[in-house]
Structure 1
Amino acid sequence: MTLDAPLAPARDPHAADETGRQADARLKIIDGDVHPAPRSLADLKEFLPRRWREHLDVYGSRRKLGMSYEPYPKSAPRACRRDAWPEDGGAPGSSLDLIRTQYLDAYGIEYGILGPLGVSGHSEINQELSAALATASNDWQREHFAVPEPRLKAGIVAPTEHTEAAVAEIERRADDTAFAQVFMLTRTSEPLGNRRYWPIYAAAERHGLPVGMHVFGSGGHAYSGAGWPSYYTEEGAGHSTSVQTAVTSLVLEGVFERFPRLKVVMIEGGFGWLPALTWRLDRLYERMRSEVPHLRKRPSEYIRQHVWVTTQPMEEPADPRRLVDILEWIGWDRLIFASDYPHWDFDDPFRAFPAAVPRERHRQILAANGRAVYRLG
């Protein structure tokens, strides 16, 4: 899809047609990756204590080295579609009215799960500022989006490197139906299976909340393991690498053995990598299981029981039947539809699946799986 293409829905093949099927026969859609954005930092400052408002005015936001550059192409500021910029001058994702008309209403979205990026408390060097920004981001999501628009469900931003504050945020929001997940990024200071993050997983499991792990982040490490990429194309392709690293760490460090009811959703990292990674982990486990005696199952079993993946970006092999092979191996119940609205690589829910994907599976991926994982009734 091009940057200039209008964000208008294609005809839903399951909607009413000339034969008289009713409009309510349309597929319900639950979107696991919608990105809200503040109009400006002032929107978040509204929810910050005076101390931190003044801190940002004087010192600004400081993240770890390595991600201080602009990560998106100049032709796609904020990685967003050109037609997603509100007329009032705010950033894409900042206007609830535009989100409603351009996406929620146009596509008949039942629920959209929010995941705020940018200056939202994920990656500040100053951990107290990170905690304050996370609280502000959660208050802002709730008041500006989830409360006025029940179709939008907020994600609890967990300041990952400040575990105590992250747990406090989860405890504060867990019983609030405006929130549907704990929201983290995949590039952290340590691999995500590290014990320093276990209190976050314990809190999420305790409250039955899935943990959404979205690609990106400012943990100070390049995804490559050998320095920073030269091209945006490399950066985009590398997203799947960071997701594979996260899954590997969660499994081998024993997170799923310790937290047997934990659900993790890997967001915007694709899914084509999952079979090969699982095969390799199982093979290594068979040879060296004595190194990880805390694991009582094969890695593939933990992945099958605890990990979900979103559909965006959709892998598109030349022969779409190969895509179906991958989806069948992963498990149709492990896939959650994601559009990535309002970003430029937005996946139209009416066009996301090639014809080779069985029609009966559309309903499962577009809504049923997300409804179960996010406890949407």
Structure 2
Amino acid sequence: MTVTANPRVPAAERIAVRCVDSDVHPMPKRGALLEYIPEPWRSQYFTNHAVGDQIYYDAPDYAHSYAMRVDSFPPDGEFACSDPDMALRQLIMEAGSDIAILEPTHGESRLPGATAAYCTATNAWLADNWLDGHNNWHERWRGSICLAIEDPAASVVEIEKWAEHPYMSQLLIKAEPRPSWGDPSYDPIWQAATKYDMPVSCHLSRGVYETLPIPPVGLPSYNHDFMVTYSLLAANQVMSLIFDGVFDRFPTMRVVFIEHAFTWILPLMWRMDAIYAQRKSWLDIKRKPSEYVKDHIKFSTQPLDYPEDKTELSRALEWMECEKILLYSSDYPHWTFDDPRWLVKHLPEHAREAIMFRNGIETYKLPDTVPVLEGQVRVF
């Protein structure tokens, strides 16, 4: 399928945005990121010793395709989603997404400075290789400003550097570093986020040692333990944001949880509201916890918990008012990819437009139209 007769000039005609993908993972080509890592971290930390493949993810066929769609590896032998043109073809032209939020998979190091250096490099690489005029000629890619949340001062520097870039749409952090997000030490990051009216998104991650997601009883034994642990980690951060008053200190702040699942938020809202009802005189927050969730927090649809009885999922979606808190996400190019044409069929009809594109446009402050791409599949 051809993208357009003139592949580097956007069409004058525009079309309505009907699908916003909140979770796409671009990858650098081999060696491409190294030149962006500032010294002394490049030579004294990232390249001063060889590190083998550390596998914390026993996904199907990991040894062969690294948990990626096998058809997403470009012909030049580079990694999946390292070719912006191929990603455009598969994700936009063939699957039907109109705008994709790019989230590079930066990991956590034990040293905050090392994580900050890696984020600095990732942001510059993303701007040069995906958001530039050559690769984003179609205006479909939107970037993430990667932050080392454990280093608030360095994070603010990155926000100030990139927040006014025309195609940077969110701040991207990890949930593993301690303390939890309600701690005032993070307030400079939240202040900068609200200054530029940018959402703060959190994507799950795997670091090493204590930077792995650790539940209260210690490190899990298996990958499936880790996968559930991400939701537990997100639940604790939700409680910290609310009960420690972050949304009262920063009333315009928006938070997005990516790939932490979402069905758990319903019983958590019930439980928080029950505690609030009994102890509101002891608390400084001004509203029911569930109201903060619905006004300030969004969750990606992938991974979608899918019970054998689909009516159970439908009821849960209705009870949690899914049209207020969900954003469509595909997780491209991972093997867990959720095609938007498949996902939309499993949403309540009244919530489909909100989840598939309206919430995304509002959350990321996106345009409601994009240049036409001749031959693009449409979800709606």
TM-score bin (small chain): 0.7 to 0.9
User: Is the counterpart of residue 268 in structure 1 residue 259 in structure 2?
Assistant: yes
User: Is the counterpart of residue 111 in structure 1 residue 99 in structure 2?
Assistant: yes
For 2:113, the aligned partner's letter is: E
Local SS of the residue matching 2:47: helix
* Structure 2 CA distance for aligned equivalents of residues 27 and 48 of structure 1: 35
For 1:253, the aligned partner's letter is: D
* Structure 1 CA distance for aligned equivalents of residues 16 and 150 of structure 2: 43
Deviations 1:69-123 (A, max 9, x none): 4121262254322222222121112111221122121123211101111xx3x52
* Structure 1 CA distance for aligned equivalents of residues 112 and 141 of structure 2: 28
* Structure 2 CA distance for aligned equivalents of residues 223 and 128 of structure 1: 22
Gaps of 5+ in 2: 1-13, 368-380
* Structure 1 CA distance for aligned equivalents of residues 158 and 50 of structure 2: 23
Report deviation, 1:289.
3.0
* Structure 2 CA distance for aligned equivalents of residues 283 and 360 of structure 1: 29
Q: Name the counterpart of 2:32.
A: 43
* Structure 1 CA distance for aligned equivalents of residues 239 and 332 of structure 2: 28
User: Is the counterpart of residue 102 in structure 1 residue 90 in structure 2?
Assistant: yes
**Closer/same/farther in 2, CA of residues 268 and 222 from structure 1, 3 Å limit:** closer
1:348 to 323, 339, 352: 339
Q: Name the counterpart of 2:289.
A: 299
For 2:333, the aligned partner's letter is: P
Contact 1:309 1:334 in 2 (8 A): yes
Q: Name the counterpart of 1:188.
A: 177
Report deviation, 1:347.
0.5
Instruction: List aligned pairs for 1:132-147, cutoff 5 A.
Output: 132-147=117-132
Local SS of the residue matching 1:172: helix
For 1:318, the aligned partner's letter is: E
Contact 1:223 1:241 in 2 (8 A): no
* Structure 2 CA distance for aligned equivalents of residues 60 and 256 of structure 1: 43
* Structure 2 CA distance for aligned equivalents of residues 358 and 104 of structure 1: 24
Report deviation, 1:321.
2.6
Report deviation, 1:187.
1.4
Q: TM-score, normalised by structure 2?
A: 0.84
Report deviation, 1:153.
0.7
* Structure 1 CA distance for aligned equivalents of residues 324 and 299 of structure 2: 10
Contact 1:185 1:216 in 2 (8 A): yes
Identity score, percent: 31
Q: Name the counterpart of 1:172.
A: 161
Local SS of the residue matching 2:36: coil
Contact 2:146 2:171 in 1 (8 A): yes
**Closer/same/farther in 2, CA of residues 347 and 125 from structure 1, 3 Å limit:** same
Report deviation, 1:353.
3.7
* Structure 1 CA distance for aligned equivalents of residues 15 and 362 of structure 2: 21
State the aligned residue count. Answer: 343
For 2:87, the aligned partner's letter is: I
User: Is the counterpart of residue 124 in structure 1 residue 113 in structure 2?
Assistant: no
For 1:246, the aligned partner's letter is: Q
* Structure 2 CA distance for aligned equivalents of residues 59 and 106 of structure 1: 42
2:310 to 320, 335, 340: 320
For 1:165, the aligned partner's letter is: A
Deviations 1:270-289 (A, max 9, x none): 21111100110111122233
Report deviation, 1:221.
5.1
Q: Name the counterpart of 1:209.
A: 198
* Structure 1 CA distance for aligned equivalents of residues 34 and 22 of structure 2: 27
Report deviation, 1:228.
2.0
* Structure 2 CA distance for aligned equivalents of residues 93 and 231 of structure 1: 27
Q: What is the aligned-residue RMSD (CA, Å)? A: 2.3
Q: Name the counterpart of 1:157.
A: 146
Between stretches 337-346 and 219-228, larger displacement belongs to 219-228
Local SS of the residue matching 1:246: helix
Local SS of the residue matching 1:37: coil
2:67 to 79, 97, 102: 79
For 1:156, the aligned partner's letter is: I
Report deviation, 1:264.
0.5
Local SS of the residue matching 2:237: helix
* Structure 1 CA distance for aligned equivalents of residues 235 and 167 of structure 2: 30
Contact 2:68 2:333 in 1 (8 A): yes
User: Is the counterpart of residue 369 in structure 1 residue 354 in structure 2?
Assistant: no
Gaps of 5+ in 1: 1-23, 62-67
For 2:199, the aligned partner's letter is: P
**Closer/same/farther in 2, CA of residues 295 and 60 from structure 1, 3 Å limit:** farther
**Closer/same/farther in 2, CA of residues 216 and 291 from structure 1, 3 Å limit:** farther
**Closer/same/farther in 2, CA of residues 79 and 225 from structure 1, 3 Å limit:** farther
Contact 2:173 2:203 in 1 (8 A): yes
For 1:248, the aligned partner's letter is: M
Between stretches 313-322 and 180-189, larger displacement belongs to 313-322
Contact 2:97 2:340 in 1 (8 A): no
**Closer/same/farther in 2, CA of residues 112 and 25 from structure 1, 3 Å limit:** closer
* Structure 1 CA distance for aligned equivalents of residues 195 and 49 of structure 2: 37
Higher relative contact order, structure no. (Cα contacts within 8 Å, ≥ 6 residues apart): 2
Report deviation, 1:354.
4.1
Report deviation, 1:26.
9.3
Q: Name the counterpart of 1:3.
A: none
Contact 2:257 2:300 in 1 (8 A): yes
* Structure 2 CA distance for aligned equivalents of residues 255 and 347 of structure 1: 32
Structure 1 runs of 4+ with >6 Å offset: 24-27
Local SS of the residue matching 1:344: coil
